[in-house]
């Protein structure tokens, strides 16, 4: 993946992508798409809007993915009808959003998203209507409800491969930006001036990485060139929006390649600053642990197994935690409280960048807390830990740490055998553990005879 990315960065210089005022039209004989491949609800929406006198097309990712023989996750419609006009046509429609007003049309569990054609924002501040569009000082778009024509809508889409419009009625593709050509060449290219497009919405840098990893595309040279310089702009993005984007990055089945590209393009630092610092100071361990966790995540997704963001974030942040725990222990704090305090501080700092919901931060802390508890196996502790609802996640995380090179003195193997052993075998393992401790401790110290005064003091302390 990275080799392909680097090859694309060295590609011959090319001018900024220019759109045609009229599209290249591909008839049904010139492409592989058929209306039956698309959601019947989405096709029905297009037909009803066209019959009502509006322009309407299937657009973006669903068209791109179908051309690549990938099953789309959802189906989007672009239309000349305003959100209010769309809602008037469909009783099951709901207008959502303020920054970017859309319509969701519900068909049971399936939701079709309908967007009105957008136009470019006015370049003159005096012409800008704050109710429809607004930007901040760095050029980032804060509100985007300037409606326009089909041609204007194509011009303001982010990547050429997403500026494809499919009409299921005539079965034609309208291509304004050589998107079909870039799909055939497996190349990701921004429409317009890359620096300006990233300044309008810095999240486009993350989308570039996500699409390149998901589709196994190279990133065109001029599309990649400004990213390292503009990466700090991600700090301006609301933390709640970044949480959603990070889930898309790491839970799409291509997390391992995504991580490599984020690090190379210096996009990992503004997302996970503490982990990026750990990657700089302890590169081998940090890179190995995160990469292994992401490969496991990708494998589970490919196998159709469930994945939890809590385990993912626990792995992404863990390399930054031990140094903080050690610092608190050096100041006299016991191991478990030190772990809890360091975890609280690290997660609080991370939530300033990415708003991880409490339903995930609590399991993250419990998984980390397990790492301090798993070595404590004497007496009934092992059985109590085994019954803990977070045991499996904590155990899996322990194995992850060991695979990254952490020395745990065979702790992971011990717990693996303990889970498989019968009750008698488990008692033997606990006994062996106690004997090993006694042997390593040397002769037992001579017991002091407790005086009646000592007994009274201890009894009094217990009663207090």
Active site residue 76: yes
Q: Structure tokens of 101?
A: 């007003």
Helix or strand run (H / E) with residue 414: helix 411-420
Taking residue 340's Cβ as centre, other Cβ atoms within 10 Å add up to 18
| Structure tokens, 4 | 């392909």
Integer CA distances (angstroms), 100 to 95, 202, 401, in order: 10, 16, 42
Annotated catalytic residue within 65, 153, 158, 298? 158
Residue tagged active-site, from 76, 257, 269, 298: 76
By CB atoms closer than 10 A (0-12, 13-18, 19+), residue 351 is: middle
Q: Which H or E run includes 441? A: helix 423-441
Give the C-alpha distances (Å, rounded to integers) separating 120 from 23, 86, 132, 154.
18, 22, 12, 10
Active-site annotation holds for 74? yes
Cβ atoms of residues 329 and 321 within 8 Å: no
HSE toward the beta carbon, residue 355, CA cutoff 13 A: 7
- DSSP-derived secondary structure for 314-375: HHHHGGGHHHHHHHHHHTT--HHHHHHHHHHHHHHHHHHHS---HHHHHHHHHHHHHHHHTT
Q: Helix 391-403 crosses helix 411-420 at what angle (to 10 degrees)?
A: 140
Question: How far is Cα 207 from Cα 267, in angstroms, rounded to an integer?
Answer: 11
CA–CA distance, 254 with 301 (Å, rounded to integer): 9
Residue with the two structure tokens 């519900």? 106
Handedness of CA 300, 301, 303, 306 (dihedral sign): positive
The 10 Å Cβ neighbour count of residue 429 is 16
DSSP letter (8 states) at residue 147: B
Contact 151, 143 (CB under 8 A): no
How far apart, in whole angstroms, are the C-alpha atoms of residue 198 and residue 204?
6
What's the start-to-end Cα distance of the chain, in Å? 66
Residues identified as active-site = 74, 76, 158
């Amino acid at each position: 993946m990275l080799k392909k990315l680097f090859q694309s960065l060295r590609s011959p210089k090319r001018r900024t992508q220019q759109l045609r005022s009229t599209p290249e039209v591909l008839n049904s004989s010139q492409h592989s798409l058929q209306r039956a491949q698309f959601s019947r609800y989405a096709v029905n929406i297009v037909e009803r809007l066209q019959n009502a006198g509006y322009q309407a097309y299937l657009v973006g990712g669903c068209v791109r993915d179908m051309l690549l023989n990938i099953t789309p996750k959802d189906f989007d419609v672009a239309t000349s009808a305003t959100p209010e006009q769309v809602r008037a046509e469909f009783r099951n429609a709901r207008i959502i959003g303020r920054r970017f007003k859309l319509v969701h049309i519900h068909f049971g569990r399936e939701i079709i998203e309908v967007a009105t054609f957008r136009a470019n924002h006015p370049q003159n501040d005096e012409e800008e209507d704050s109710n429809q569009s607004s930007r901040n000082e760095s050029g980032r778009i804060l509100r985007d409800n300037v409606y326009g024509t089909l041609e204007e809508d194509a011009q303001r889409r982010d990547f050429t491969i997403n500026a494809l419009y499919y009409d299921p009625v005539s079965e034609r593709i309208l291509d304004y930006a050589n998107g079909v050509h870039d799909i055939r060449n497996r190349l990701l290219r921004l429409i317009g001036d890359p620096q300006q497009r990233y300044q309008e919405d810095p999240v486009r840098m993350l989308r570039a990485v996500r699409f390149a990893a998901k589709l196994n595309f190279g990133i065109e040279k001029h599309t990649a060139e400004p990213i390292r310089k503009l990466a700090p702009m991600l700090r301006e993005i609301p933390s709640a929006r970044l949480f959603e984007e990070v889930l898309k990055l790491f839970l799409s089945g291509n997390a391992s390649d995504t991580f490599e590209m984020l690090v190379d393009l210096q996009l990992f630092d503004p997302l996970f600053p503490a982990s990026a610092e750990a990657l700089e100071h302890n590169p081998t361990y940090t890179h190995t642990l995160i990469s292994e966790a992401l490969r496991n995540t990708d494998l589970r997704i490919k196998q159709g197994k469930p994945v939890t963001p809590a385990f993912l974030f626990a792995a992404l942040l863990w390399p930054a935690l031990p140094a903080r725990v050690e610092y608190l222990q050096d100041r006299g704090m016991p191991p478990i409280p030190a772990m809890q305090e360091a975890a609280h501080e690290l997660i609080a700092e991370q939530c300033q960048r990415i708003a991880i919901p409490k339903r995930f931060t609590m399991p993250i802390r419990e998984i980390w807390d397990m790492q301090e508890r798993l070595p404590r196996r004497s007496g009934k502790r092992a059985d109590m830990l085994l019954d803990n609802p977070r045991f499996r996640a904590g155990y899996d995380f322990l194995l992850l740490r060991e695979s990254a090179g952490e020395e745990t003195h065979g702790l992971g193997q011990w717990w693996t055998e303990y889970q498989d052993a019968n009750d008698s075998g488990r008692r033997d393992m606990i006994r062996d553990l106690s004997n090993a401790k006694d042997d390593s401790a040397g002769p037992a110290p001579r017991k002091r005879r407790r005086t009646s005064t000592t007994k009274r003091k201890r009894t009094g302390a217990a009663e207090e």
